[in-house]
Amino acid sequence: MSTTYALFWFDVEDYLTPESDDALKGLLEIFEACGVQATWKMVAEKARSLEDRGRSDIIRLLQRQDIGYHTDNHSLHPVLAEYLADADWDDGVEEVIRRERAGYDDVSRILGPSSTFGQAGGSWAPQLYPFLRDVGVPLFMDEASHIGCDGEPFWYCGVLHVNRMEGSATRAAFDQGDAGLADGNRRFDEIHQRHMAAGGGLVSIYYHPCEWATTAFWDGVNFSNGAMPPRHEWRPAPLRPPGQMAAGLATFRQYLEHIIGCPGVEVITGRQLLNLFPDTARGATITAADLAQALVFDNGVVGVTWFDDVALAPAEVFALVCDTLLEAVVTMTEGVEAGAQELATIVATLENTPYGPVQRQSSTLAAGAKVPMEIFIEAAADARQSLHYHGRVPAAVWAGAQRLSPQDFLVTAAYLLRRLVLAGDDLPAAITVRSGTIDGERHVRADVWGWPIFSQDFTAPRILEHARLQTWTLKPAQRVD
């Protein structure tokens, strides 16, 4: 039976307006009364503020829900994209850890471990993913514009993503009374019906608890357009008129009850989502014959490689091709007779997803150039050693004094592996260089720096270049009901 999974998540961030605490409590009580859970992505400063204000009632309610991490202080300058705008990969990774680890630890201490992470507003950079993997946060959940995958869940940098869900993201306007409720119900029903007809799917529904208490966002009041006033000048957000919070909460409860009551709908949390979208490639064992058969890069375009329902990102394919090709060469040169049949049974196992390269280097050998086979095999061995040492695809694969871009190397090596395993060819004296491109780069958008907290002229092209390079790790997530 088809199922529509409704995922409610809340960015809990306003630590300057105490009245937003009561909105948060009201929402938590609604979910408890309805017998379902949501994911509450907590800014660490908000969690510390609840503790400082003695709101143990709210803390206890949150401890019974699914918790996410939403940065240490959200909108205080410099925000993540600002301090990473000109950073290289390794320095950026270390800076994220330095600035965010203490906040994550505070959220864990006060509320429990986090299942998910969501960025602050439009502030994002891919150097945050090693931090997430290090602290054991396996899910990124947001509705930001930087990276997506055709409106569906996806894997990127080894982390499951629910982001840029496009036609599967929705919400009801709780502050517009019956009209807002009716419109929200209608839009949810349309998505639900579409998913049921397609065999099931996911709906992403998101809010900020402070929206029920205030008429403007707390950070826009204080930190918009790059402003960073001294702490004694920070102001709470303007409040809604008396009665509006209670009315909005009542409307939202009706919206939640409508969704719960729809046949075929299951309300889930981010933590439950991980069981629905496992990475079936991790730990997968793939024979040389199956790998070679799948390595068809039309016009040199390297996209997602499929083995039945197992999706492999280009970085994963790079690792498997290096391992399998080198094992095939050893088998062919160790003095025993080995043909295609023997090579076909070679097995490689994918342990994890390597990161993509951290800088872009073009090939100094043009397509059509010849590389002696001995030099090419030495280059493959060096690439594999580099990948295992650094945990990422190398920026260049060196064939003596000449270099190949990793995509050119992958397409060339895949062609050689196919000839050895499928056609039964002997090792040639030289290999012809072939060119490649990474298809996933098209999923990174360029016009993404419009968050009001940024200065009006803020831009970060280097972050977007890092993002494109990490599309080596991009692949769709497959649902397992």
The CA dihedral of 45, 49, 55, 59, to the nearest 10 degrees, is 10
Mean pLDDT taken over the chain: 97
- What number is the average pLDDT over the span 107-125? 98
H helices present in 149-287, as ranges: 177-197, 218-223, 244-261, 270-276
Distance CA 311, CA 221 (A): 45
Q: Please spell the DSSP secondary structure of 357-410, one letter per residue.
A: -SS----SS-TT-EEEHHHHHHHHHHHHHHHHHHSB--S-EEETTEEE-HHHHH
Whether the pLDDT of residue 449 is over 80: the answer is yes
Whether the pLDDT of residue 334 is over 80: the answer is no
Of the pLDDT bands very low, low, confident and very high (cuts 50, 70, 90), residue 340 is confident
Q: What is the pLDDT of residue 410?
A: 98
- What number is the average pLDDT over the span 376-392? 98
Whose tokens are 């960025």? That residue is 119
Q: Quick one: what percent of the chain has pLDDT higher than 70?
A: 99
* Exposed e or buried b per residue across 320-343, where buried means at least 16 C-beta atoms within 10 angstroms of its C-beta: bbbbbbbebbebbeeeeebebeeb
Q: What is the pLDDT of residue 337?
A: 66
Q: What is the pLDDT of residue 333?
A: 85
Q: pLDDT for 130-175, tens place per residue?
A: 999 999 999 999 999 999 999 999 999 999 999 999 999 999 999 9
H helices present in 43-165, as ranges: 44-52, 56-63, 80-83, 89-111, 129-135
Whether the pLDDT of residue 32 is over 80: the answer is yes
Of the pLDDT bands very low, low, confident and very high (cuts 50, 70, 90), residue 189 is very high
SS3 category, 327: helix
Query: CB-based contacts of 474: which residues, under 8 Å, 6+ apart?
Result: 147, 149, 154, 155, 156, 304, 313, 440, 443
Whether the pLDDT of residue 336 is over 70: the answer is no
Q: pLDDT for 204-254, tens place per residue?
A: 999 999 999 999 999 999 999 999 999 999 999 999 999 999 999 999 999
Of the pLDDT bands very low, low, confident and very high (cuts 50, 70, 90), residue 335 is low
Q: pLDDT for 290-323, tens place per residue?
A: 999 999 999 999 999 999 889 999 999 999 999 9
Q: Distance of CA 68 to CAs 40, 65, 436, Å? A: 6, 10, 38
Q: pLDDT for 85-108, tens place per residue?
A: 999 999 999 999 999 999 999 999
- What number is the average pLDDT over the span 46-74? 98
- What number is the average pLDDT over the span 418-427? 94
- What number is the average pLDDT over the span 281-291? 94
Q: What is the pLDDT of residue 353?
A: 97
Contact 244, 208 (CB under 8 A): no
